[in-house]
Protein backbone atom coordinates (compact mmCIF):
# COMPACT_ATOMS: atom_id res chain seq x y z
CA UNK A 1 0.00 0.00 0.00
CA UNK A 2 1.33 3.38 -0.86
CA UNK A 3 0.83 6.61 0.99
CA UNK A 4 -1.17 9.15 -0.99
CA UNK A 5 -1.38 12.04 1.47
CA UNK A 6 1.33 12.67 4.01
CA UNK A 7 1.17 15.87 6.06
CA UNK A 8 3.55 16.42 8.95
CA UNK A 9 3.05 19.41 11.24
CA UNK A 10 1.81 21.34 8.23
CA UNK A 11 0.92 24.98 8.83
CA UNK A 12 -1.25 26.80 6.32
CA UNK A 13 -2.04 30.46 6.80
CA UNK A 14 -5.23 31.97 5.50
CA UNK A 15 -5.61 35.76 5.84
CA UNK A 16 -2.95 35.79 8.55
CA UNK A 17 -4.73 33.08 10.53
CA UNK A 18 -3.23 29.60 10.92
CA UNK A 19 -6.16 27.69 9.50
CA UNK A 20 -4.06 24.53 9.65
CA UNK A 21 -1.95 24.52 12.79
CA UNK A 22 0.65 21.78 12.65
CA UNK A 23 -1.71 19.22 11.22
CA UNK A 24 -0.49 15.70 10.53
CA UNK A 25 -2.36 13.06 8.59
CA UNK A 26 -1.45 10.00 6.57
CA UNK A 27 -3.79 8.50 4.01
CA UNK A 28 -3.17 5.22 2.18
CA UNK A 29 -4.21 4.51 -1.37
CA UNK A 30 -7.80 3.31 -1.64
CA UNK A 31 -8.95 4.70 1.70
CA UNK A 32 -12.08 6.78 2.15
CA UNK A 33 -11.26 9.09 5.04
CA UNK A 34 -13.94 11.16 6.72
CA UNK A 35 -12.89 14.50 8.16
CA UNK A 36 -15.28 15.56 10.88
CA UNK A 37 -15.21 18.60 13.08
CA UNK A 38 -16.89 21.91 13.75
CA UNK A 39 -17.05 24.78 11.26
CA UNK A 40 -13.83 26.77 11.09
CA UNK A 41 -11.75 23.86 12.34
CA UNK A 42 -9.76 23.74 9.11
CA UNK A 43 -11.39 20.94 7.10
CA UNK A 44 -11.74 22.99 3.93
CA UNK A 45 -8.22 24.37 4.30
CA UNK A 46 -6.87 20.83 4.70
CA UNK A 47 -8.56 19.77 1.45
CA UNK A 48 -7.39 22.86 -0.44
CA UNK A 49 -3.85 22.42 0.83
CA UNK A 50 -3.86 18.80 -0.39
CA UNK A 51 -4.93 20.07 -3.82
CA UNK A 52 -1.79 22.20 -3.94
CA UNK A 53 -3.79 25.42 -3.84
CA UNK A 54 -2.41 26.87 -0.61
CA UNK A 55 1.24 27.33 0.29
CA UNK A 56 2.59 25.25 3.16
CA UNK A 57 4.17 27.80 5.50
CA UNK A 58 5.84 25.32 7.83
CA UNK A 59 6.08 21.58 8.19
CA UNK A 60 6.08 18.95 5.47
CA UNK A 61 3.43 17.90 3.02
CA UNK A 62 3.49 15.45 0.18
CA UNK A 63 0.59 14.34 -1.97
CA UNK A 64 0.84 11.49 -4.49
CA UNK A 65 4.57 11.54 -3.92
CA UNK A 66 4.95 15.23 -4.78
CA UNK A 67 6.52 17.50 -2.16
CA UNK A 68 4.07 20.40 -1.90
CA UNK A 69 6.64 22.65 -0.22
CA UNK A 70 8.67 22.56 -3.43
CA UNK A 71 6.09 22.12 -6.17
CA UNK A 72 2.38 22.76 -5.85
CA UNK A 73 1.67 22.58 -9.58
CA UNK A 74 2.48 19.11 -10.83
CA UNK A 75 0.17 17.35 -8.39
CA UNK A 76 -2.89 19.26 -9.55
CA UNK A 77 -3.82 17.34 -12.69
CA UNK A 78 -4.01 14.16 -10.57
CA UNK A 79 -6.20 15.63 -7.84
CA UNK A 80 -9.89 16.48 -8.01
CA UNK A 81 -11.30 19.03 -5.61
CA UNK A 82 -15.03 19.47 -5.28
CA UNK A 83 -15.71 22.42 -3.02
CA UNK A 84 -18.87 24.31 -2.21
CA UNK A 85 -19.02 25.40 -5.83
CA UNK A 86 -19.49 22.73 -8.48
CA UNK A 87 -17.12 24.36 -10.98
CA UNK A 88 -19.60 23.92 -13.84
CA UNK A 89 -20.51 26.26 -16.67
CA UNK A 90 -24.17 27.11 -16.14
CA UNK A 91 -24.90 27.83 -19.82
CA UNK A 92 -23.53 24.54 -21.08
CA UNK A 93 -25.26 21.17 -20.97
CA UNK A 94 -24.15 18.29 -18.78
CA UNK A 95 -22.59 16.57 -21.77
CA UNK A 96 -20.71 19.71 -22.84
CA UNK A 97 -19.38 20.29 -19.34
CA UNK A 98 -18.06 16.76 -19.02
CA UNK A 99 -16.79 16.82 -22.58
CA UNK A 100 -14.81 20.00 -21.83
CA UNK A 101 -12.85 18.23 -19.11
CA UNK A 102 -12.53 15.12 -21.25
CA UNK A 103 -10.89 17.21 -23.98
CA UNK A 104 -8.51 18.66 -21.43
CA UNK A 105 -7.06 15.25 -20.61
CA UNK A 106 -7.56 13.65 -23.99
CA UNK A 107 -10.31 11.30 -22.84
CA UNK A 108 -12.48 9.88 -25.58
CA UNK A 109 -16.11 10.73 -26.22
CA UNK A 110 -17.03 7.11 -25.54
CA UNK A 111 -15.60 7.49 -22.06
CA UNK A 112 -17.82 10.52 -21.52
CA UNK A 113 -20.90 8.66 -22.67
CA UNK A 114 -20.24 5.66 -20.45
CA UNK A 115 -19.54 7.88 -17.42
CA UNK A 116 -22.77 9.80 -17.94
CA UNK A 117 -24.62 6.49 -18.19
CA UNK A 118 -23.15 5.15 -14.97
CA UNK A 119 -24.02 8.38 -13.17
CA UNK A 120 -27.58 8.37 -14.47
CA UNK A 121 -27.26 11.71 -16.21
CA UNK A 122 -27.35 10.47 -19.80
CA UNK A 123 -29.98 10.66 -22.52
CA UNK A 124 -32.19 13.71 -22.57
CA UNK A 125 -30.92 14.87 -19.19
CA UNK A 126 -27.41 15.17 -20.61
CA UNK A 127 -28.65 17.77 -23.07
CA UNK A 128 -30.07 20.01 -20.35
CA UNK A 129 -28.27 23.19 -19.42
CA UNK A 130 -26.64 22.96 -16.00
CA UNK A 131 -28.60 25.95 -14.74
CA UNK A 132 -31.85 23.97 -15.17
CA UNK A 133 -30.69 21.04 -13.06
CA UNK A 134 -31.40 20.09 -9.46
CA UNK A 135 -28.67 20.33 -6.86
CA UNK A 136 -28.15 16.56 -6.90
CA UNK A 137 -27.85 16.41 -10.68
CA UNK A 138 -25.30 19.24 -10.62
CA UNK A 139 -23.27 17.43 -7.99
CA UNK A 140 -23.33 14.22 -10.04
CA UNK A 141 -22.23 16.16 -13.09
CA UNK A 142 -19.34 17.67 -11.13
CA UNK A 143 -18.29 14.21 -9.94
CA UNK A 144 -18.50 12.93 -13.52
CA UNK A 145 -15.99 15.64 -14.45
CA UNK A 146 -13.62 14.29 -11.79
CA UNK A 147 -14.01 10.79 -13.23
CA UNK A 148 -13.22 11.73 -16.83
CA UNK A 149 -10.30 13.78 -15.57
CA UNK A 150 -9.07 10.52 -13.99
CA UNK A 151 -8.39 12.17 -10.65
CA UNK A 152 -6.47 9.82 -8.38
CA UNK A 153 -7.21 11.69 -5.18
CA UNK A 154 -10.71 13.02 -4.60
CA UNK A 155 -11.07 15.85 -2.13
CA UNK A 156 -14.76 16.38 -1.41
CA UNK A 157 -15.93 19.27 0.71
CA UNK A 158 -19.44 18.65 2.03
CA UNK A 159 -20.54 16.59 -0.98
CA UNK A 160 -23.89 15.86 0.67
CA UNK A 161 -24.78 19.44 1.53
CA UNK A 162 -28.10 20.62 0.14
CA UNK A 163 -29.13 17.25 -1.30
CA UNK A 164 -32.14 15.09 -0.50
CA UNK A 165 -31.85 11.49 0.76
CA UNK A 166 -31.97 9.74 -2.60
CA UNK A 167 -29.46 12.15 -4.13
CA UNK A 168 -27.16 11.48 -1.19
CA UNK A 169 -27.40 7.74 -1.81
CA UNK A 170 -26.43 8.30 -5.42
CA UNK A 171 -23.42 10.37 -4.38
CA UNK A 172 -22.36 7.64 -1.96
CA UNK A 173 -22.60 5.01 -4.68
CA UNK A 174 -20.42 7.12 -6.98
CA UNK A 175 -17.79 7.60 -4.27
CA UNK A 176 -17.69 3.87 -3.51
CA UNK A 177 -17.35 3.05 -7.17
CA UNK A 178 -14.51 5.56 -7.62
CA UNK A 179 -12.76 4.06 -4.65
CA UNK A 180 -13.15 0.58 -6.04
CA UNK A 181 -11.59 1.84 -9.27
CA UNK A 182 -8.49 2.87 -7.35
CA UNK A 183 -9.13 6.44 -6.24
CA UNK A 184 -8.41 7.68 -2.74
CA UNK A 185 -11.06 9.89 -1.16
CA UNK A 186 -11.04 12.53 1.56
CA UNK A 187 -14.47 13.75 2.59
CA UNK A 188 -15.27 16.64 4.85
CA UNK A 189 -18.82 16.23 6.04
CA UNK A 190 -21.32 17.14 8.68
CA UNK A 191 -23.47 14.13 7.77
CA UNK A 192 -21.68 11.97 10.31
CA UNK A 193 -24.03 8.97 10.32
CA UNK A 194 -24.08 8.75 6.56
CA UNK A 195 -20.42 9.49 6.03
CA UNK A 196 -19.30 6.99 8.68
CA UNK A 197 -21.08 4.26 6.78
CA UNK A 198 -19.21 5.30 3.67
CA UNK A 199 -15.77 5.95 5.11
CA UNK A 200 -13.15 3.35 5.89
CA UNK A 201 -11.78 5.57 8.64
CA UNK A 202 -12.68 8.84 10.26
CA UNK A 203 -10.59 11.51 11.91
CA UNK A 204 -11.47 14.74 13.68
CA UNK A 205 -10.17 18.10 12.64
CA UNK A 206 -10.13 20.35 15.68
CA UNK A 207 -8.69 23.86 15.80
CA UNK A 208 -6.44 23.28 12.83
CA UNK A 209 -5.13 19.88 13.95
CA UNK A 210 -6.01 16.34 12.99
CA UNK A 211 -7.00 14.15 15.91
CA UNK A 212 -7.56 10.44 15.34
Partner 1 sequence: MSTQLSLGRIARAVAAKDLRIELRSRVVINQIFPFAGLVMVMFAFALDNDDVLTRVAGGLVWLATLFSLIIIIQRSFAVDSADGALEAQRVAGLNPAGIFVGKALAVMVQLVTLEIMLFFAAVVLYRVELHSDGAVLLVTCVISATAGLSFVGTLYGGLTAGARGRETLLPLLMLPVVAPVLIGATRATESAFMSGGAAVSDGWPWVGVLVVFAAVFGLGGILSFGSLIEE
Partner 2 sequence: MEAQTFTARVATPTTRLVGAMALVSMAWVVIGGLFVTPRDVDQGDAVRIMYVHVPTAWVAYLAFIVTAVASACWLLSRKHSMGFDRVAGASAEVGVVFMAMTLLSGSLWGRITWGSYWAWDPRLTTTAFLLVTYIGYLAVRGLGGSLEQRARRSAVIALLAVLEIPLVHFSVLMWRSLHQKASVLSGDGDIKMDGSMLTTLLVGVIGFTLTFTWLVLHRQRVLAMQDAMQMTQLDAALRERANESENKSVIESSRLK
Q: Which residues bind partner 1 (CB under 8 A)?
A: 51-53, 73-81, 83-92, 96, 100-101, 103-106, 129, 145, 149-152
Q: Give which of partner 2, partner 1, none residue 100 binds (C-beta under 5 to 8 Å, depending on kind).
A: partner 1
Report the residue from 8, 10, 22, 116 that binds partner 2 according to the rule CB under 8 A.
22
Question: Is residue 152 classed as helix, strand or coil in its secondary structure?
Answer: coil
For residue 157, give every residue at least 6 positions away whose Cβ sits within 8 Å of its Cβ, in sequence order, or none.
43, 44, 47, 81, 82, 83, 84, 188
Radius of gyration of the chain (CA): 17
Our finding on whether 63 is near partner 2 (CB under 8 A) is no
- Minimum CB separation of residue 85 from partner 1 in Å reads 3
Give dist(CA 19, CA 54) in Å, integer.
11
Q: Give which of partner 2, partner 1, none residue 106 binds (C-beta under 5 to 8 Å, depending on kind).
A: partner 1
Nearer to partner 2, 72 or 150 (CB): 72
Q: Give which of partner 2, partner 1, none residue 113 binds (C-beta under 5 to 8 Å, depending on kind).
A: none
For residue 50, give every residue at least 6 positions away whose Cβ sits within 8 Å of its Cβ, in sequence order, or none.
5, 7, 61, 63, 79, 153, 155, 186
Q: Describe the crossing of helices 165-180 and 135-148 by its angle, rounded to 10 degrees.
A: 10
- Minimum CB separation of residue 87 from partner 1 in Å reads 3
- Minimum CB separation of residue 54 from partner 2 in Å reads 8
Report the residue from 18, 77, 87, 120 that binds partner 2 according to the rule CB under 8 A.
18
Give dist(CA 210, CA 1) in Å, integer.
22
Report the residue from 8, 26, 55, 74 that binds partner 2 according to the rule CB under 8 A.
55
Pairing of strands 201-206, 209-211: antiparallel
Give dist(CA 1, CA 15) in Å, integer.
37
Pairing of strands 184-188, 32-36: parallel
Report the residue from 57, 104, 105, 131 that binds partner 2 according to the rule CB under 8 A.
57
Report the residue from 1, 2, 16, 84 that binds partner 2 according to the rule CB under 8 A.
16
Chain contacts with partner 2 (rule: CB under 8 A)? 11, 13, 15-18, 21-22, 38, 54-55, 57, 204, 206-209, 211
Amino acid sequence: MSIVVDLRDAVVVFNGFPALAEASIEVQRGEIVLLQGPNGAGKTTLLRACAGLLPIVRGEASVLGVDLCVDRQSVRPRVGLLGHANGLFADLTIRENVLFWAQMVGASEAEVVSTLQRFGIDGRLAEQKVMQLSAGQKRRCALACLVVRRAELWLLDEPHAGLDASARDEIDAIIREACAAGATVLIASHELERARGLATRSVSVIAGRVVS
